Structure 1
Amino acid sequence: MKTIKGILAAALVMTALTGCGGGGGEKAASGDDKGAAADSNAPITLTWFDKNTGDAFNNPVAKAITEKTGVTVEIQQPTGNPVEKLNLMLASGDLPDVVMLDRGSDIMNKYISSGAIIPLNDLIDKYGPHIKEMYGDTLAKTKNDDGKNYYFANWYGLEKYPVFGFMMRMDIMKELGVGDKVNNGEPFTAEEFENLLVKFKEKYPTIDGKESIPMTLNGENIGSVSGTFKGMFGMMPYYETNGELKKDIRDPRYLEMVKFLNSLYRKGLLDKEWATMKTKQFEQKLAGGNVFATAEALWNVGNPNSLLKSEASDPAKADERQFYQYKVLAPGVSADQTTYGPKSSLGWDGVAITRSNKDPERTMKLLDFLASEEGQYLLMWGVEGKDWDMKDGKHVPRPEVLDAFKKNWDEASRTTGIRKWTWMIKNGPGSDGTPYDLIGRFQSDPVTDLAIKNLADTSFDTAPYDNLGPAGGTPEAIMDTKVNDTINKYFLKMALAPTEEQVTEQYNQMMKEVEAAGLSKLEKIYTENYKKRQQLWTESK
Structure 2
Amino acid sequence: MRTKKWLQTGLAVVMASALLIVGCSNGNNAGGKNSESGGENSEVSTEPVTFTYFGFGANKDTMASDTTIGKKLQEQTGVDWKMEYVVGDGSTKSGVMIAGGDYPDVISPVGELAKLLDAGAYIPLNDLIEKYGPNIKRVYGDYMNKITNEDGNIYILPFTANVNGYLSPPDPSSTFWMQRRVLKEFGYPEVKTLDQYFDLIEKYQAKYPKVDGKDTIGFATFAGTAGEFFTITNQPMHLAGYPNEGGVLVDMESHEAKLYQGTEDEKRWLAKLNEMNGKGLVDPETFTANKDQYLAKLTSGRVLGYVNYSWQINDATNNLRSAGNDDLRYVALPIVFDEGIKDAYVDPPSFVNNRGLGISVSAKDPVRIIKYFDNLLTDENQKLVEWGIEGETYTKNAEGRMVMNEEQLTNRNDNDFKRKFGFAYFDYEWPRYGDNSVYDDGNAHVPFNQPEVAAINYTEGDKTLLKAYNLKTFSDFYAEPVERPWYPAWSIEKEPGSPEQLFSQRAGDLQQKYYPRMVLAAPGQFEKVWNEYLAEYNKLDAKSYEEFMTNKVKARVEGKW
Q: What TM-score do the two structures reach when normalised by structure 2?
A: 0.69
**Secondary structure in 2 aligned to 1:38?**
coil
What code does the residue aligned with 1:171 have? R
Counterpart of 1:189 (choices 170, 182, 193) is 193
Query: CA separation in 2, counterparts of 1:40 and 1:364?
Result: 13
TM-superposed CA distance for 1:280, in Å, is: 4.9
**Which residue of structure 1 lines up, in the alignment, with residue 154 of structure 2?**
149
Query: CA separation in 2, counterparts of 1:308 and 1:413?
Result: 17
Counterpart of 1:428 (choices 410, 431, 436) is 436
> Is the Cα contact below 8 Å between 1:154 and 1:423 reproduced in 2?
yes
Change (3 A) 1:298 1:519: same
Query: CA separation in 1, counterparts of 2:256 and 2:423?
Result: 45
- More deviation, 250-259/455-464: 455-464
Choose 1 or 2 for highest CA Rg. Answer: 1
Query: CA separation in 2, counterparts of 1:508 and 1:75?
Result: 52
Change (3 A) 1:369 1:219: closer
**Which residue of structure 1 lines up, in the alignment, with residue 337 of structure 2?**
330
**Which residue of structure 2 lines up, in the alignment, with residue 515 of structure 1?**
538
**Which residue of structure 1 lines up, in the alignment, with residue 180 of structure 2?**
170
**Which residue of structure 1 lines up, in the alignment, with residue 385 of structure 2?**
379
- More deviation, 162-171/240-249: 240-249
Deviations 1:263-317 (A, max 9, x none): 333345445564544545545555565553333333528638856985xxxx8xx
Q: Does 1:321 align with 2:328?
A: yes
Change (3 A) 1:133 1:119: closer
> Is the Cα contact below 8 Å between 1:231 and 1:340 reproduced in 2?
no
TM-superposed CA distance for 1:80, in Å, is: 7.4
What code does the residue aligned with 2:259 have? K
**Secondary structure in 1 aligned to 2:234?**
helix
**Which residue of structure 2 lines up, in the alignment, with residue 39 of structure 1?**
42
Counterpart of 2:137 (choices 121, 132, 146) is 132
TM-superposed CA distance for 1:109, in Å, is: 1.2
Change (3 A) 1:37 1:292: closer
Query: CA separation in 1, counterparts of 2:103 and 2:288?
Result: 42
Query: CA separation in 1, counterparts of 2:317 and 2:556?
Result: 45
Q: Does 1:528 align with 2:548?
A: yes
Unpaired segments ≥5 residues, structure 1: 1-33
Change (3 A) 1:165 1:353: closer
Counterpart of 1:249 (choices 261, 271, 295) is 261
> Is the Cα contact below 8 Å between 2:38 and 2:132 reproduced in 1?
no
Change (3 A) 1:536 1:356: farther
> Is the Cα contact below 8 Å between 1:387 and 1:401 reproduced in 2?
yes
> Is the Cα contact below 8 Å between 1:230 and 1:339 reproduced in 2?
no
1:334-373 superposed matches below 5 A: 334=341, 336-339=342-345, 345-346=351-352, 349-354=355-360, 363-373=369-379
Q: Does 1:303 align with 2:316?
A: yes
Change (3 A) 1:529 1:50: farther
TM-superposed CA distance for 1:322, in Å, is: 2.4
Change (3 A) 1:511 1:129: same
Change (3 A) 1:134 1:351: same
**Which residue of structure 2 lines up, in the alignment, with residue 14 of structure 1?**
none
Change (3 A) 1:383 1:519: same
> Is the Cα contact below 8 Å between 2:44 and 2:371 reproduced in 1?
no
**Secondary structure in 2 aligned to 1:352?**
strand
Q: Does 1:483 align with 2:507?
A: yes
Counterpart of 2:118 (choices 105, 110, 114) is 110
Equivalent residue pairs, number: 484
**Which residue of structure 1 lines up, in the alignment, with residue 54 of structure 2?**
51
Change (3 A) 1:198 1:412: closer
1:229-244 superposed matches below 5 A: 230-235=237-242, 236-237=245-246, 238-240=248-250
Query: CA separation in 1, counterparts of 2:106 and 2:300?
Result: 46
- More deviation, 93-102/463-472: 93-102
TM-superposed CA distance for 1:486, in Å, is: 0.9
Q: Does 1:227 align with 2:237?
A: no
Change (3 A) 1:150 1:529: farther
Q: What TM-score do the two structures reach when normalised by structure 1?
A: 0.71
Change (3 A) 1:101 1:36: same
**Which residue of structure 1 lines up, in the alignment, with residue 518 of structure 2?**
494
Query: CA separation in 1, counterparts of 2:222 and 2:92?
Result: 29
Counterpart of 1:505 (choices 528, 538, 560) is 528
TM-superposed CA distance for 1:153, in Å, is: 1.2
Change (3 A) 1:77 1:475: same
Query: CA separation in 2, counterparts of 1:89 and 1:381?
Result: 35
TM-superposed CA distance for 1:484, in Å, is: 1.1
- More deviation, 209-218/259-268: 209-218
What code does the residue aligned with 1:471 have? E
> Is the Cα contact below 8 Å between 1:124 and 1:131 reproduced in 2?
yes
Whichever structure has more helix as a proportion of its residues is: 1
Change (3 A) 1:525 1:72: farther
**Which residue of structure 2 lines up, in the alignment, with residue 261 of structure 1?**
273
> Is the Cα contact below 8 Å between 1:103 and 1:153 reproduced in 2?
no
Change (3 A) 1:207 1:540: closer
What code does the residue aligned with 2:241 have? G
Query: CA separation in 1, counterparts of 2:360 and 2:423?
Result: 26
Change (3 A) 1:287 1:251: same
What code does the residue aligned with 2:547 have? T
Query: CA separation in 1, counterparts of 2:38 and 2:379?
Result: 25
What code does the residue aligned with 1:143 have? T
- More deviation, 81-90/349-358: 81-90
TM-superposed CA distance for 1:216, in Å, is: 3.9
- More deviation, 209-218/85-94: 85-94
What code does the residue aligned with 2:136 have? I
